[in-house]
Amino acid sequence: MKGAFAVDSAFIELDRVEKVFDVHRKTGFMRRELRRVRAVDSISFTVARGEMVGYIGPNGAGKSTTIKMLTGILTPSGGRLRVAGIDPSRERTRLAHRIGVVFGQRTTLWWDLPLLDSYRLMHRMYRIPDARYRENLDRLVELLELGDLLDVPVRQLSLGQRMRGDIVAALLHDPEVLYLDEPTIGLDVVSKGKVREFLRELNAEHGTTVLLTTHDLQDIEQLCSRVMVIDHGRLMYDGPLTGLHEVGDSERILVVDLERELPPIEAPAPARVVKVDGPRQWLAFPAAASAAPLVARIAAEYPLVDLSVREPDIEAVIAKMLHSLGDTTDPPSERATA
Amino acid sequence: MAETGRVAGRDWAVEKDLGARSSRVVDGLRAYRMITAMWIRSTMAYRASFLMTTFGNFVATALDFVAVLLMFSRVDELGGYTLPQIAFLYGLSSTAFGLADLAVGSMEKLGRRVRDGTLDTLMVRPAPVLAQMAADQFGLRRLGRVTQGVLVLGYALATVDIDWTWAKVLLMPVMLVSGAAIFCAVFVAGASFQFVAQDAAEVQNAFTYGGTTLLQYPPTLFATELVRGVTFVLPLAFVNWVPATYVLGMPLPLGLPGWAAFLPPLVAAACCALAGLAWRAGLRSYRSTGS
Ligand SMILES: Nc1ncnc2c1ncn2[C@@H]1O[C@H](COP(=O)(O)OP(=O)(O)OP(=O)(O)O)[C@@H](O)[C@H]1O
Ligand SMILES: [Mg+2]
């Protein structure tokens, strides 16, 4: 019996994993150009059992491609990949019992059937013991507030309802790993909050390992102690979110409303005023630093009425980080004319 | 509480892992049964609509036989075959094809799923993709075609002149099952081709729907090259032409010897094996989509 149970410290394991797509493009009559897109370029990392990791990067970075390899949908072009000790593309159905997948962009539910029918089918397909199924279904449906929607065909659900329905479907069989590819895409603030709170609880109480991609920095801030950034298929950063701010030199903005119009605040460096508009002033300060001393100082010396702190958005942070790492190259693709 | 939950979860993981080791064929049939059962249940929730679509399917396919009847209002023989004899060929072809269409007809939608990447969702479930695809949107209304085929076959058996022997009696069910299996293989092979050419559904239809129409008429009506093609290249002739001419006591096509009439099970097995290989190759070439 091959190792069905990986060491807990390397529950997900990638060793120089690559995925190359050959893309044919018509460039004229009978002429086709073969372009190799290196969607994932020699990525190595491990994720321990019970970790909750954010996997971020700009559009086309290779996030979804990585997740597809981790589920066995795509076969890597090179490198070694293991999830729970299983080679996903070779033993896809065996791995399926141990993982849950939520694609924000498409549903894994049966489009024309009521939610409950999909769940019943999962119950049998995954051979979930009856008691366990009922327990999980009740708990998940309550937590994600789907009780009234179980009889509604999936195609009639709103995006947020469908997403929650998909999350339930992905968790009925108690997977040890949950992959989420943009689970909050298109959701309103309230729905996002619910999904996040649910994921946090899932990770804390059931020890489920979670790997999620997103373009929403708040997802990462509220959920992940560890974040990986990829760009052009390469892993650019792997560490805590705060470290990302340091590497990227990113800044937060403190917006202060004073009692009246005043000359720019004389803030202690490196904080500085970047904009003044009547009684309102904008100050930039390093994202990794605490806002408290700055606020205290301003409150002590100026007639402060109100204030707020704006977080840098994820794209800006990543852009700065990638820039500071000296990455300004084009996508690494090789061309050959066929 | 969380602790015990985790321990229990891990025990179950062992169980899950053992459960996931059963054979692919058994797994596939199991998944197929579950998914079709679900679709049948959902179809039956709208019984009136089911009856109407099935009846529609019945009428649409029965029109083919009406065409044959119209022809026989002008002539007594077609290619040396009488009406009951042609009905015999027709009934066999139509029933075998109808069964295959009922069982795996949904496969023809594969191209769409490859193009829009929704095949991804089938690949993360613990069941063979082939079984899930074949059972997807299981169309019970296709029973209409089967019913039509069975009725024509019944009419043929009641009116045709056959020197029944035990071998010929035995050949009847063998022919139907093998024929259905051959058509299933054509459906699967066609679907596999759609991994490469996603718009190939039309090509597939030419071989499936086109094939069954061809087989409804006697082989003597067609050019030798065509008969050779459907005997040795795409062996549809083994659905009915070869075994049925033997049962009817007519000369076998292409001057084949009498024992060729007993080949359908072997031909069907070979077709299914090849289709299975094609499917695996196709699935391996699947590369999802960029979004
Ligand atoms: N099936 C495919 N065929 C060809 N190229 C592909 C395919 N899938 C992905 N790619 C290419 O691989 C690269 C990475 O795509 P991927 O979908 O992994 O990006 P992503 O990080 O998920 O982006 P996004 O944030 O936009 O979802 C892109 O350049 C994309 O064009
Ligand atoms: Mg993506």
Domain coordinates in residue numbering, chain B: 1-41, 58-121+137-285
178-217 of A, contacting B, C-beta below 8 A: 205-207
Q: What pLDDT was estimated at residue A10?
A: 87
Q: Say which residue, B290 or A232, is predicted with more confidence.
A: A232
Average pLDDT over residues B101-127: 92
Q: Give the model confidence (pLDDT) of B191-217 as tens digits.
A: 999 998 877 778 888 888 899 999 999
A120/B137 Cβ within 8 A:
no
Q: Give the model confidence (pLDDT) of A279-332 as tens digits.
A: 998 988 887 778 888 888 888 888 888 888 887 666 677 777 777 665 544 444
Output the CA B290–ligand 1 centroid distance in Å.
4
Give the largest CA-CA distance in chain A. 75
The pLDDT-based confidence of B6 (bands split at 50, 70, 90) is: very low
Q: Give the model confidence (pLDDT) of A86-105 as tens digits.
A: 999 999 999 999 999 999 88
Q: Which long-range contacts (CB under 8 A, 24 or more apart) does A143-146 make?
A: A143/A198, A143/A201, A144/A168, A144/A194, A144/A198, A145/A194, A146/A115
Q: What pLDDT was estimated at residue A186?
A: 81
* A40 closest CA partner among A11, A10, A78: A78
Output the CA A158–ligand 1 centroid distance in Å.
26
Query: Chain A interface, mutation test: which of B1, B12, B16, most A Cβ atoms within 10 Å?
Result: B16
Average pLDDT over residues B281-290: 88
Q: Give the model confidence (pLDDT) of A158-190 as tens digits.
A: 988 999 999 999 999 999 999 999 998 888 888
A112/B127 Cβ within 8 A:
no
Residue from the list B24, B120, B126 with its beta carbon closest to the beta carbon of A103: B120
Q: Which long-range contacts (CB under 8 A, 24 or more apart) does B129-134 make?
A: B129/B283, B130/B28, B130/B188, B130/B279, B130/B283, B131/B27, B131/B28, B131/B29, B131/B31, B131/B32, B131/B35, B132/B31, B132/B32, B132/B35, B133/B106, B133/B107, B133/B191, B134/B32, B134/B103, B134/B104, B134/B106, B134/B107, B134/B188
CA distance B148 to chain A (A): 29
CA-to-CA distance for A218 and A313, rounded, in angstroms?
9
The pLDDT-based confidence of B24 (bands split at 50, 70, 90) is: confident
Q: What pLDDT was estimated at residue A111?
A: 86
**pLDDT-above-70 percentage for chain A:** 90
Q: What pLDDT was estimated at residue A213?
A: 94
Q: What pLDDT was estimated at residue A137?
A: 95
* Contacts with A8 from chain B: Cβ below 8 Å: none
Average pLDDT over residues B180-194: 95
Ligand 1 binding pocket includes B118 (Cβ within 6 Å): no
Q: What pLDDT was estimated at residue B5?
A: 42
Residue A37 in contact with partner chain B when CB distance is under 8 A:
no
The pLDDT-based confidence of A6 (bands split at 50, 70, 90) is: low
Tell me: pLDDT of B144 over 60: yes
